[in-house]
Chains A and B, each alone.
Chain A
Amino acid sequence: MDYKLVPSVCPYCGTGCGILYKVLNDRITGVLPLKSHPVNEGKLCIKGWNAHAYVHHPLRLKAPLLKTEGRFHKVSWDRAIRTTADRLGDIREKHGPDAIGVLVSAKITNEENFLAQKFARTALGTNNIDHCARL
């Protein structure tokens, strides 16, 4: 049996409460508030106490999907990445880089947002980058 507590941050609103994931044999069994955290000082709201509920949900996407004939099929990462890169490359070739838009996310990390906009501005060559700060 492998049990550990992993410090992290609640995935919901912008308050940034410190949490501990309770992890038993590579599954998160619950969440605890971080007692000494400068933001929440050992407290959580109802969403925070349930911040793990979605992680192991059966509906989580487990592999990349490609739609053919209106239906999704599981494909390898290789194929999904190649298809995406080819299609984006074709559209850029035909219509220019500004025919592509990228919506980055307020749910992914700083490092990932940084790479997402770097990808848009370098690999695609467009500043058409936005996210849901306004929504």
Chain B
Amino acid sequence: MTNSIAEMEESACLFVIGSNTTECHPLIATRVLRAREKGAALVVADPRRIHLGLYADVAVQHRLGTDIALLNGMMYHILVNNWHDAAYIRARTEGFQEFSESVLAYTPERVEALTGVPAGAVEEMARLYAKSKPASILYAMGITQHTTGVDNVKAVCNLALLCGNVGVRGGGVNPLRGQNNVQGACDMGGLPNVLPGYQPVTDAEVRGRFAEAWGVPIPPQPGLTITEMAQAMMDGKLKALYVIGENPRLSDPDWNHLRHAMKRLEFLVVQDIFLSETAQVADVVLAAASCAEKDGTFTNSERRCLRIRQAVEPVGESLPDWRIFCLLSQAMGVPMDYNGPHEIMDEIASLAPKLYGGIRYDRLGIDGIQWPCPAPDHPGTPFLHKDRFSRGLGKFHAVEHRDPAELPSAETPFQLTTGRMFAHYHTGTMTRISQRLDAEQREGYVEIHPEDARELGIREGELVRVSSRRGEMEAPARLTRRVRRGTIFVPIHFGESPANILTSAEAFDPLAKIPEFKVSAVAVSKALQ
């Protein structure tokens, strides 16, 4: 997030796209609703009729995979009505000319035809966003999990730049992170192309600094992403996999593909707190302590580095993950030893100085510190890009609508979209064993429009069979007008009715390698009893 969660209450307009905020980020939704009570405009765009839409000035259900068309359509209205912030564009941005020409091709008629959203609604969305300042954009996986994920994000950024909403309090481009420390895992270099602090491995100067600190040379070539690793396993090139606190057998696209790929591994080691679906097929399972059993920090969506503290002793003989890494590294002949997580944070501060340079345990307290925090006396940064962007000027990118990888066909006439529901979390490993959360939702389900269900002879609660080119699954029907006709929704939490048996491992964004979980073509029928 460029801006902070609390700042949302100071926004004059909140535009939420591709985020089912009340279910997936409830305490952020609270801020949105508070802003609404204070008089802010609320604009919601989601292919499903989400709860937040009930409180919105305008809520639209655009077709799956038409985010760019919708956003460009909004920007068309902003440009032709002269609602854009010309002074900001002149002072802070570049690439406006080429961008504005591309946007002017998204006429109201074309956008309505692509998105299914009436032209009048698109104009009203544009007016509210452009005329209420500062305006904040919130998005989540509904924007990113597409073959056009990177372009979708660029379109969101274009809109924010066009109205001068980046680098201002209460504005910004605010992706909501789905996991407690996904921000931190990225910050710490848990990516194939960057070292901690987003320093590229291809930069010899960067590698030199890390090699000096660690006493070992750093490999210069970027590594494989998770999506590419699956293919490399299939091709027999990746022989061993070390999985830490993840359950890719359930969370990754095209279950069958990954299952076959993992069978080809010579060695699989899984480190987890439970014997997850992935751990069950491992050669070695390393028992990790949970986050209530150790010290450390998490970095939330708004870049706030927060302390976690050990509440109880680790169960059984389980060990904190950091101790396991030290033991393994030593066993492989590379010394790694720390007296505690605070010493590791000191090393992080020294090697990622621009973001974490001033972060020390004794400064964090309860409130934590928002990076960038380059020095021990730096207060942290509530919002980014105040006077300049990291690259200097903010760049407009001309982006065009492209169809999703799979469109409905005669054999697979329905579109499937996947996501989370309020009571459960990701692959359900942690939430489904809670009696109270399990009581809210015990099993998977398929959301289907009542009229589609009637045509297929499916009644509420009856088993539905959903199949794609990759595989098939069954779950009870939930008849609801939350989904458009021709679209179904399946939650990702339930291993016995796995959404990801249906999704494609081949459809992903060429740059970000993010799978297109949000759009697949499927066939739907009543399951034979």
Contacts and interface: CB of A to CB of B under 8 A. Distances in A.
Interface in B171-190: 176-190
Given A9-B298, A127-B192, A110 B181 contact: yes
Contact of A85 (B266, B279, B328): B328
B254 interface: no
Contacts of A121: 195, 210, 214, 216, 218-219
A14 B348 contact: no
A110 to B, nearest CB: 4
A125 B333 CA distance: 12
A40 to B, nearest CB: 5
A98 B226 CA distance: 14
Contacts of B216: 121-122, 125
B86 interface: no
Interface stretch (B35-43, B234-242, B467-475, B479-487): B234-242
A5 to B, nearest CB: 9
A56 B325 contact: no
Interface in A18-77: 18, 21, 23, 26-28, 34, 36-40, 43-50, 52-57, 59-67, 72, 77
A10 B402 CA distance: 38
Contacts of A13: 24-25, 176-180, 425
A110 B245 contact: no
A72 to B, nearest CB: 7
Nearest to A14: B177
Given A46-B437, A81-B331, A55 B336 contact: no
Query: Chain B interface residue count: which class?
Result: 35 or more
A69 B293 CA distance: 33
Nearest to A114: B188
A80 B513 CA distance: 33
Contact of B309 (A6, A64, A115, A131): A6
A112 B284 contact: no
Given A46-B423, A60-B316, A14 B240 contact: no
B316 A62 contact: yes
Interface stretch (B110-118, B153-161, B299-307): B299-307
B23 to A, nearest CB: 9
B214 A118 contact: yes
Residue from B176, B223, B269, B317 whose CB has the most chain A CB atoms within 10 Å: B223
Contacts of A57: 274, 433
Interface stretch (B26-34, B96-104, B456-464): B26-34
B332 interface: yes
Contacts of B293: 55
Nearest to B435: A53
B341 interface: yes
A52 B437 CA distance: 12
Interface string B323-343: 011111101111010000100
Contacts of B329: 115, 118-119, 122-123
A98 B223 contact: yes
Contact of A60 (B240, B283, B318): B318
Contact of A16 (B298, B316, B318, B422): B298
A71 to B, nearest CB: 11
Contacts of B26: 15, 45-46
Contacts of B348: 110-111, 114
B291 A88 contact: no
B227 interface: yes
Given A107-B291, A116-B190, A127-B221, A99 B237 contact: yes
B300 A109 contact: no
Contacts of B434: 50, 53-54
A1 interface: no
A114 B350 CA distance: 12
B325 A115 contact: yes
B312 A23 contact: yes
A69 to B, nearest CB: 12
A18 B306 contact: yes
Contacts of A52: 292
B308 A99 contact: no
Given A105-B244, A111-B345, 11 more contacts: A13-B425, A23-B311, A50-B431, A62-B316, A64-B317, A106-B184, A107-B245, A109-B184, A111-B348, A123-B329, A134-B144
Counting from the closest, the 6 A-B pairs by CB-CB distance are: A62-B316, A16-B300, A14-B177, A109-B296, A127-B223, A105-B245
Interface of B: 5-6, 24-28, 30, 144-145, 176-193, 195-196, 201, 210, 214, 216, 218-219, 221-227, 229, 232-233, 237-246, 248, 251-252, 266-267, 269, 272-275, 279, 282-288, 290-294, 296-302, 304-313, 315-322, 324-329, 331-334, 336, 341, 344-345, 347-348, 366-368, 422-425, 429-431, 433-437, 440, 512-515, 517
Interface of A: 6-18, 21, 23, 26-28, 34, 36-40, 43-50, 52-57, 59-67, 72, 77, 80-85, 87-89, 91, 94-95, 97-135
